[in-house]
Structure 1
Amino acid sequence: MTVSRKEDNMAPQKSTTPPGSVASGKNSVASSLSEVSLPELGDSKSRSSSQAASYVLGSSNPGTSMSGSLAETPTGSVRADSALSTSVTRSASPRCGSPAYFWRGIGDEQEIIFVKPLDPRFECALCKKILRYPSIMECGHHCCCGCMQELMRTEPRCPIDQAKVEKANFTTDRNLQKEIETLFVRCSFVSAGCTWTGYLKELQMHTEVCKYRSVVCPNECGANFEQRFLEGHLKSDCPRRVVHCEYCQDPIKLDELEAHFSDCRRFKIECTNCGTADIPREELQKHLDTECPEEMAKCSFFEAGCPFESKRKDLKAHITENLELHVDMVVMALQTCSDALEIHDAILERQSDRLIDVENQAAVLNKIHGYQMLWKIDNYANKMQEAEEGISVAIESPIFWLSRDGYRIQLSACLNGDGKAAGEYMSLYVSIVRGEYDALLKWPFSLPLTISLLDHNKNPSKRKDHHQVLRPNACVENMPFLKRPTSSRNPAFGLVRFIRLDKFKEFEYVKNDTLFVKVQADPKGILKL
């Protein structure tokens, strides 16, 4: 089949191929299409986009999904999701002077208008409609693949020549299917003004974007119009279009705007007391509480004891007439407040003292981490100078617990050394302090204590902490130090030569005028109560 290049009259030439035969390579659709000029096809842009799409009508792969197309289907099956899976019937088309067909889908009806009169060989021998997935019978006639299934349920004979049909002897005519796919059609909305012309396989894709197709308003207002008018309808005509409230600027559907005004927070209303207009609804209460002259209000000196109450507009006269009385009330109120403040100050001072005690106790408790205490010695330079001058030889740590409900101990440090170690060593001592649970503890005290001076080096891997272990020797001579305390605390015992003072120059034990001493007990020796 060849197509001559004519603008107005494009009648097809008679085919020399007998019914049921396969077109040769020279007479194939592909060779015929090479003779078709682009102007004859109309909208070349739509055609090129259709060719680039994933559906290619007449594909040799029956398993390929071709949404919106006349896809290849194997013999004996029907693709229900194809665009041409719905029936196509013929009717007169006075507008174009050629046969018109209707493409009936679910819930819609689309007319197919062919550019040239439809060749009868493209009609199904059974349903007399355009062949859909054409199957060729032994006698050479064609019918739709779906019609062939219906035919095989009854007496399987060709409806034209009554030739018997064997199921195993009919096949899909793929070349004829390609010819049907490449029939030239006009847009179904040509009467509305669309000038598109293209292949039948491109019609569905074009219809989806055609600006002359009929659409329903997406806002569900019920309007039905051409696609090209949709934008204007949504902007200015649709009664359900979204607009912004002129008062609160919230987006509201136009048909719901009047109902929105009944509870809009910024809608202007009138005060029912004084008649003041243009008050935003959300500010009405503020107007009544502070501004409305007709609203009942208390005297400005109510807190001072004045019980007067009237409309706000009358308060000014009342205050002016009773100025002296109001001053007396204020003086009395101030005196009462002064007396109350003195009482509160006294209470606050007592509470402050109690708070300081609690903070001190909390500070001690916060230093307990398992079986250890970290003692921070700040203002080191001054304390070292006082030790060297003999003003304050020893300093003491907070009292801490070695375990919950366990031993209470306290450290003391002689920063410049004690006795014969003075000026060469730093000395550290431990005192056992009387506690609430001493009666339940094991005596004499025998827990080994590891005492450490911590290095401040910024690199943890380079720190060289100084450690010494203090192991109490529970002999008779040491009982005064290790026995259960009978007074507030026992005498101190410890490490006279804890660390040489010249070591402070080699390591960063003092930084920012601060050093840290850590004491840790061996948890294995802690008695669990």
Structure 2
Amino acid sequence: MVALVSGITPVDSAGRSCLLCSVCRFLLIKPKQTECGHRYCTACLENLFKTDNEADCHVCQQKVFRSKVYHDRAAENDAYATKIQCTAYRDGCDWTGTLRNYLRTHRAQCDFHVVPCSNVTFGCETMGPRKKILAHETQECEWRMELCPRCETFCTHKLLEDHITMCTKWKETCPVCGKTDLTKAELEQHCDPDHGTCPDAQVSCPFKDIGCLENPRRRDVEDHLRAGQPEHLLLMLKRRGGPPVEGGASAPASEELSALGRKADALSRELERYAHLVEVLQRRCLHSEQLVAGLQRRVRALEGAREQPASTNGVLLWKIRDFASCLAAARAERVTSFYSPTFQTHPFGYRLCCRLYPNGDGNGRGSHLSLFLAVVRGDYDDVLPWPFRQRVTFLLLDQAQQKHHLRESFAPDALSGSFQKPQSRMNVASGCPTFARHEMLHRDRSPYLRDDTLYIKVVVDTAGLVP
């Protein structure tokens, strides 16, 4: 969700009507006044200009020019001194005070203010009142960090069970044979009744299907077969109808018994051969599992490593492929937003990234492409000046080489929490909810969407920054 200061109305709407934006009709935020005398929020006025330097006034329809618009500090001071209610008053917040105090302190502390889960960068999209989101982050979020009780390594809750299964320090002892130093996965395989390796585990006799009810230990199966060979042969004869026991029929029965004895010996040798093959395969499986566990540790280590910035000069060129698929996923609410690679204003400067909503967010939902900037925690935040104040320009590049790029520019609000020093991995993003209309992208021969690909360029004004 985007941190936009909008939707704020004064307690005394009638007495403060002159401080309402001519477009959105909410309390002016960073007000600007045109030549014709009408006031606008900076963001609303920029939406009027879009890609051109002139536009029609929303009120009187006179031509207004970007170069003849000035910052109305008197109206800004009056707006900051206006008494307002917290925007979460419908949810139960009874705070009232000036807009200045709301922006400086209350909004960052309000228990009813809707905020995203701090694990948003890992994939959690849960949002809710601040007083409830803390409980979600510590007790419910599947991306919360938890400590492995054995190896004392932090792992996300979602992956903790897999981690415990493969944890090399999580050792178990076989309750049957007493073998030690087994991981949980190794123990399950070791004790498997059909394919395990525990020598003391009870298994079914290979002749169970013809009536043998004994359950020898795995180590004693061969002795059991040799000691009970006559009984097993008789069971086989019984299944075939049994040999004659009277008169001259005993000789054929004896011959058949001998033949079955030879067949039993052959089956026993075959069983030994298969047992050897099973043992070899089990060793190979164990080796493969160890290799997989090593690769998983390397993957987790790489995932935990800090992402290298795409650039360190304040400019990001972001290529977005398969835009149709991204838009379809956003409309189906499977994946509503996408993050760009991080970039920096300087090798030792601010770390930033962009967040794109293909199906829009806020007042651009369903009709626009929304684009926002987020301040990411960096290695040099402790020595950088805060809040972040550098002007940011978004460009949707014209791929037809006509240089008619779609451009949006904004200066960060110094009072917004989005541009303060990050306390978590990333601040809430802020920017342009109505960056580009869908109909402009999908019209015939659109210069902005070619081969289902968009190019977005972000330029941060680094003038005056001291590295």
Normalised by the length of structure 2, the TM-score is: 0.36
Which structure has more relative contact order (CA 8 Å, sep 6+)? It is 2
Point out the structure with max Rg over C-alpha: 1
